Structure 1
Amino acid sequence: MWSPDASMEGLYRAYERKREKQRAEWAEQTKEEQRKRLVHSLAVPMEELDELRPVLLERVELEDHIRERVEFGTFWGFRVPAYVLLPKGVVGKSAAVLALHGHGYGSRQIVGLNADGTDHIGESDIHGNYALEMVRRGFVVIVPEVLGFGDRRLEADQRSGQVGNSSCQTLASHLMLYGVSIAAVRVQEARRALDYLMTREEVDVNRMGCFGFSGGGLLAAYTAACDERIQAAVLCAFTNTFKGSIMSIHHCIDNYVPGVLDYAELPELVGLLAPRPLFIASGRQDPIFPIATVEAAVSYLKQVYQKEGVGERLGVHLYEGVHEVKGDQAYPWLVEALMGNES
């Protein structure tokens, strides 16, 4: 009887009732209030943003695209390396995609490279090389190295020699002492990546989208919710409920935003993207984002989009697969969402 299970379940239900009361009080302003609270939750204390001061690190011409690696400033002195993939044969400005990777060895994992920077040969892994797939469809794609992965791990984690390990736990726990979540830092850096993208002469700044897988899906969802420069979003292997995913199954600490259940469950936060085009993709056998609560989240989102009179802007692909990217429907959907009005 001393187990905390029942009390923790009671706490969730109490906050559920609190949110129901808030929705009644906020009425038609519910989305605006939730967005305001999310923006506050993801705020990062800083005097001012660092200047971008972009630097071109390398430029490689490949058969069907050009791959650049750049770096730019964000805040707190952080410098972010990022790949920029440029399609060949495009006349004029292109639609652009912010591609946010999940847990693994970082930005190289979705641009067709191995962890050591050599060209990946053979079948892709669970990430599916989705940045590569999108540049081949005519998008300019930016792939920032998310804090805590790849070249942005702490030195001790890089020295370990382990491929694909992260610095999430250490960084998140240290940032917590400053009252900041690692999700907040990553979202604000994703927004700085958009700032950099807008300086590129190849980019049509009115046609920018995002694509995120797993932890990158979290960043894509929260960044798009806070920043309306993102005109369309694909969330792969992420959309669920907090109750059915990160509260029921062991997940990395970087998934948790303090205080979020005070004002919204996860489907409500994803719903903040409406009425902008949104595509949800998830594997039916995904063990860490279970399909039953994916479907519950999708059901809620369909109601949100139908209520706003834009039901056709919500795309869904629930495929046979585990925690992995399958973009055979997501890629053409994003092409249509961001390029469908091209003359």
Structure 2
Amino acid sequence: MWSPDEFLNDLYDSQALNGQASKLKPWEQRKHEVRERLLQSLGRFPAMPEALNPVLLERQEKDGYTLERIAYTTFERLRMPAYLLIPHGIAQPAPAVIAWHGHGYGSREIVGLKPDGTGEEGNPGLTGHFALQLVRRGLVVMAPEIIGFGDRRLAAERSKDPRKASSCHALASRLLMYGRTAAGLRVLEAIRSLDYLLGRSEVDAARIGTMGFSGGGMIAAFSAALDERIGAAVLSAYASTFRGSLLAMNHCIDNYLPSILPYADLPELIGLIAPRSLFVESGTEDPLFPCESVKAALSALEGIYAAEGAGERLGSDLFPGKHEVSGRRSYEWLASALRA
């Protein structure tokens, strides 16, 4: 009787109805408005970026690749550390991928290191150490540390276990007070990471991809949607509809975009990547991004890619599993897409 569930359901339906006339327009007419609404929802971007001022922090020779840790300036007083994995014996310049970790202990998790970086982590966990899987396929891989995780947590969280404690809530809520969002800041840093990557002599600027897991999938999706220098994207455990996932259960606050629903659902935001290559993978038992929601998103994306005349550039894999990276088809798909 007192629950606000019906209120929220009616709110969604009314917002969808308000935007119905716009949503009935052909995709070719709509996509420019969708892009502008995404930019507005993410918050203000700086007019002039800071100089990158990159530095090399360390370099190690691994089995089959060189591992560098570098750092660069992204925005105002923010410095971003990242790992760069360079395969041994590649023909340079080579295709490259920016890999985005999800909630967890940060970039070390996907490059196979322990949380403190002192040694290798034997258990691949939910991420499958996917940065390692990609470098083994001959791709240069960059794994930045997303703000709010690992070494980039606020001081209040730095003494806590990085596997369990992030600064997402504190960052997202405080940024809202300035008309900014955690999602927007992370996408901005993704674009700055791409700026750095394109300055590396090992990298072919015409063959750049991105892959993200869960919250990292959001960064991969929106950075690829807004920056056409990215030619191929893999979204692992993220693509869905808003109603079927973010509005159906509790997610981290960093996933929510102000005022976006009257204008676009998540598949349309992801669809801004079209006609460039896109692959969606998701576990059939994923409790955070339910399979039916993923299927609905894929159906919408198929329509968008058909409208762009690029149906062959959309791939997917609904694998037996939960909220995790699979890679059973996505790794080779991404490598092939970037070598084409």
* TM-score in same-fold range (> 0.5): yes
Q: How far apart are the structure 2 equivalents of 1:312 and 1:258?
A: 33
Aligned residue in 1 for 2:54: 54
Secondary structure of the residue that 2:280 maps to in structure 1? strand
Q: How far apart are the structure 2 equivalents of 1:28 and 1:283?
A: 31
TM-score for both structures, normalised by structure 1? 0.96
1:44, 1:188 within 8 Å by CA — same for their partners in 2?
A: no
Post-superposition offset of 1:338: 0.5
Aligned residue in 2 for 1:303: 303
Q: How far apart are the structure 1 equivalents of 2:23 and 2:245?
A: 23
Letter in 2 for 1:7: F
For structure 2, which runs of at least 5 residues remain unmatched after alignment? none
Aligned residue in 1 for 2:170: 170
Aligned residue in 2 for 1:104: 104
C-alpha RMSD of the superposition: 1.4
Aligned structure 1 segments of 4 or more residues deviating by more than 6 angstroms:
none
Aligned residue in 1 for 2:338: 338
Q: How far apart are the structure 2 equivalents of 1:207 and 1:152?
A: 29
Aligned residue in 2 for 1:65: 65
Count of aligned positions: 340
Aligned residues with identical type, % of pairs: 51
| Distance change (3 Å), C-alpha of 1:42 and 1:121 | closer
Post-superposition offset of 1:47: 5.7
| Distance change (3 Å), C-alpha of 1:278 and 1:321 | same
Q: How far apart are the structure 2 equivalents of 1:144 and 1:101?
A: 8
Q: How far apart are the structure 1 equivalents of 2:58 and 2:159?
A: 24
Q: How far apart are the structure 2 equivalents of 1:251 and 1:23?
A: 26
Post-superposition offset of 1:159: 1.5
2:43, 2:179 within 8 Å by CA — same for their partners in 1?
A: no
Secondary structure of the residue that 1:261 maps to in structure 2? coil
Aligned residue in 1 for 2:217: 217
2:44, 2:179 within 8 Å by CA — same for their partners in 1?
A: no
Q: How far apart are the structure 1 equivalents of 2:28 and 2:269?
A: 16
1:263-317: CA deviations, max 9, x gaps? 1001111111111110000000001110011111111111221222221111110
Q: How far apart are the structure 2 equivalents of 1:136 and 1:289?
A: 29
Letter in 2 for 1:100: W
TM-score for both structures, normalised by structure 2? 0.97
Post-superposition offset of 1:42: 2.2
Matches within 5 A, 1:128-277: 128-161=128-161, 163-277=163-277
Q: How far apart are the structure 2 equivalents of 1:188 and 1:161?
A: 27
Moved more, 220-229 or 153-162: 153-162
Post-superposition offset of 1:4: 2.1
Q: How far apart are the structure 1 equivalents of 2:183 and 2:193?
A: 15
1:50, 1:77 within 8 Å by CA — same for their partners in 2?
A: no
Letter in 1 for 2:79: R
| Distance change (3 Å), C-alpha of 1:75 and 1:223 | same
Matches within 5 A, 1:9-48: 9-24=9-24, 28-46=28-46, 48=48
Q: How far apart are the structure 2 equivalents of 1:170 and 1:121?
A: 29
2:150, 2:162 within 8 Å by CA — same for their partners in 1?
A: no
For structure 1, which runs of at least 5 residues remain unmatched after alignment? none
1:38-63: CA deviations, max 9, x gaps? 12222435463221000000000112
Post-superposition offset of 1:26: 7.4
1:125-177: CA deviations, max 9, x gaps? 10111111111111111111000000000111011345341000111111111
Aligned residue in 2 for 1:326: 326
Aligned residue in 2 for 1:87: 87
Post-superposition offset of 1:89: 0.5
Aligned residue in 1 for 2:78: 78
2:237, 2:289 within 8 Å by CA — same for their partners in 1?
A: yes
Letter in 2 for 1:230: I
1:48, 1:75 within 8 Å by CA — same for their partners in 2?
A: no
Q: How far apart are the structure 2 equivalents of 1:27 and 1:62?
A: 47
Secondary structure of the residue that 1:287 maps to in structure 2? coil
Secondary structure of the residue that 1:159 maps to in structure 2? coil
Q: How far apart are the structure 2 equivalents of 1:319 and 1:161?
A: 31
